[in-house]
Structure 1
Amino acid sequence: MARIIAIGDGMDEAINAASVILALGRPVAIPTETVYGLAADATNPAAITSIYETKGRPRFNPLICHMADLDMAEQHAEFDPLSRRLAEHFWPGPLTLVLALKPESDIHPLATAGLDSVGIRVPVGFTGDLIRHFGRPLAAPSANSSGKISPTSAAHVDGDLGDRINLVIDGGACEVGVESTILKVEDGEIHLLRPGGVSVEDIEAFAGVPVQRPKIAGAAIIEAPGMLASHYAPNAGVRLNATSVGRLEALLNFGNTAVAGQDDSRMVLNLSPAGDLAEAAANLFDYLKQADATGAVAIAVAPVPDTGLGEAINDRLVRAAAPRDAEGPVE
């Protein structure tokens, strides 16, 4: 099983231990403000291969490359004026920008899936400090088996990948709880590739221009993580916009929504009794895991507003439900 080091027991110990594993070309599970990431040296092809192998992730799905700061990011990517403004305002934070890769960048093509662009983010807290100490960008998708529920605690990582990796850095529960928002600027327009921890409304309010959403879900070229139709999936089926729940199902409620049959269901968890979308986002993946652990045949999810962070929550739920969306309650 993986060694677990809590940041609270010593920041230097955590950074030094992680740096040793990274220098050996092996992946380390690290906390970010969004979800836990499976990090490895983005310039080392063997290290990147170890990410794909550990996760069972398809190699056509590119990896986000995490940087210590904007200065490091500029060594690897070309920033148009609007992308630079977005980076200066939202970094460090849960925003990823897809940018043109500089020819002189030593990020390996395995990390970009051979594309001439790269997804870059500057994370908050420990990961930024680790990258600064390590001195090279880290490729870091979520630290879970490919397609499964993303981890928001060290225990989630250990339960899934603990027998496949050497080290997990425990930074407690992730504050945001869903992955970063991914944007790409083309011809002065902002295109949303994945909703996430920064709401579209906040981006539009800052940038002063509308954010363009994909016209057809699932039709885009895979140029950023989280764009596969099926993703974030528990073992149980997921049923959305539920107004009733069966005895063999678990329920994820939101706010004070009345859901028929909830008293007889396997489990009831409320993403946010107060109807707070930030609280719901922070609870989403943990509650999906808890509901899945009951052995329920399906997880019924009450309606969640599709505004603010609700757009990211619903994006994850739609992808979790994609393979096996049920028509009604399972009795």
Structure 2
Amino acid sequence: MSPITQDLSPTEDGIARAAALLRVGGLVAMPTETVYGLAGDAMNGAAVARIFAAKARPAFNPLIAHVTGPEMAERLAVFDDRARAVAAAFWPGALTLVLPLREGSGLSPLVTAGLPTVAIRCPAHPVAQALIGAFGGPLAAPSANPSGRVSPTRAEHVRQGLGGRIDAILDGGPCAVGVESTILGLEGAPLLLRPGGVPLEALEAMLGPIGSGGDAHKPNAPGQLASHYAPEAGVRLNVTAPAAGEVWVGFGPDCVGAALSLSPKGDLIEAGAALFQTLRDADVLAGAGGRIAFAPVPETGLGRAINDRLRRAAAPRD
């Protein structure tokens, strides 16, 4: 494929051109309501291998297969009545289900990292839905950024990180949710494998208590590596009094003097949508060798996902 990354508009023609690239094994960054995803044909092993190469992503880290709805999803995974009920309640939307892989699914083993399960999501973004529909099959689509770095919520973020490595960027504007999907394991007892755009409380209202799972050394779903979402600058969390020279990122009205804020009024939805752009802006302000300090964010609702991303951004890096 061409090393030149095309810019495509979310028109009928732009979506058709993106689908044509995907059919020949190309890679297209597509907007979703969570973050931009780097899409490739989930049935084409060479295309999926290109996703890993473009991102420099470890091959043991599985990908999410994106579908138009339950009918396509059930061709890839084994659904029971509980999984169908959860999908009916939360799809399309920011929820990924990890379910047993259906025999004969046709998915490249690279998508599942050789595991007997598959992560599946039905995105709500109309451009993502249109692209999957035009392509006619599932798209493997991790976040469209170099592995371990800050996730992209705008088309320009994709170009900054992957320009020249992928075939096209389908520009659907800023992402509304701004943090990746919640990942729920439903092989047995429900397990929260990654907090995200659907709050844990909403899932527990339907399913009862949900345990936590996941292993940074042997991931069974994306987003479990200890160091992830990292800017160049160092990150410190739960800071109410920043040190000299730190770029302080506030949350809520009490952070007087903060250089930036996730949400001046303390709104978790606003903070989630702003998180990755704010990380990028703070990184620029901090400069080489600098540090970023984040004010406390409540560990409830969408705050659980925000704190998860911040903890991984602050984790020691290999």
- TM-score norm. by structure 2 comes to 0.94
Q: Which of the residues 267, 270, 294 maps onto 1:279? A: 270
Equivalent-residue separation in structure 2 for 1:281 and 1:177 (angstroms): 5
Equivalent-residue separation in structure 2 for 1:80 and 1:34 (angstroms): 26
Give the 3-state SS of the residue equivalent to 2:144 in structure 1. Answer: coil
Alignment of 1:86 with 2:83, yes or no, is: no
1:280-295 maps to which residues of 2 (within 5 A)?
280-295=271-286
Say how many residue pairs are matched: 311
Alignment of 1:26 with 2:26, yes or no, is: yes
Equivalent-residue separation in structure 2 for 1:154 and 1:249 (angstroms): 28
- Does structure 2 conserve the Cα–Cα contact (< 8 Å) formed by 1:69 and 1:128? no
Distance change in 2, residues 1:220/1:55 (3 Å): closer
Question: What is the RMSD of the two structures over their aligned residues, measured on CA atoms?
Answer: 1.5
| Alpha-carbon displacement from aligned partner over 1:18-64 (angstroms, at most 9, x marks no partner) | 11111120111010000000000000000000000000000000000
Q: 1:232 corresponds to which residue?
A: 229
Q: 1:298 corresponds to which residue?
A: 291
- Name the aligned partner's letter for residue 139 of structure 2: L
- Does structure 1 conserve the Cα–Cα contact (< 8 Å) formed by 2:60 and 2:218? no
| Alpha-carbon displacement from aligned partner over 1:130-164 (angstroms, at most 9, x marks no partner) | 11111110000000000000000001001111121
Equivalent-residue separation in structure 1 for 2:210 and 2:272 (angstroms): 21
Please report how far the alpha carbon of residue 103 of structure 1 lies from its aligned counterpart in structure 2 after TM superposition. Answer: 0.8
Equivalent-residue separation in structure 1 for 2:300 and 2:217 (angstroms): 22
Which blocks of at least 5 consecutive residues in structure 2 are unaligned? none
Equivalent-residue separation in structure 1 for 2:150 and 2:82 (angstroms): 33
Q: Percent of aligned pairs with the same residue?
A: 53
- Does structure 2 conserve the Cα–Cα contact (< 8 Å) formed by 1:257 and 1:302? no
Please report how far the alpha carbon of residue 92 of structure 1 lies from its aligned counterpart in structure 2 after TM superposition. Answer: 0.4
Equivalent-residue separation in structure 1 for 2:152 and 2:85 (angstroms): 30
Give the 3-state SS of the residue equivalent to 2:190 in structure 1. Answer: strand
Q: 1:165 corresponds to which residue?
A: 166
Equivalent-residue separation in structure 1 for 2:212 and 2:143 (angstroms): 24
- Name the aligned partner's letter for residue 213 of structure 1: S
- Does structure 1 conserve the Cα–Cα contact (< 8 Å) formed by 2:240 and 2:295? yes
Please report how far the alpha carbon of residue 213 of structure 1 lies from its aligned counterpart in structure 2 after TM superposition. Answer: 2.0
Equivalent-residue separation in structure 1 for 2:26 and 2:139 (angstroms): 11
Equivalent-residue separation in structure 2 for 1:251 and 1:166 (angstroms): 37
Q: 2:313 corresponds to which residue?
A: 320
Equivalent-residue separation in structure 2 for 1:220 and 1:147 (angstroms): 14
Please report how far the alpha carbon of residue 221 of structure 1 lies from its aligned counterpart in structure 2 after TM superposition. Answer: 3.6
Moved over 3 A (4+): 217-221
Q: Which of the residues 211, 218, 222 maps onto 2:219? A: 222
Which blocks of at least 5 consecutive residues in structure 1 are unaligned? 325-331
Deviates more, 1:129-138 or 1:246-255: 246-255
Q: 1:257 corresponds to which residue?
A: 254
- Name the aligned partner's letter for residue 314 of structure 2: A
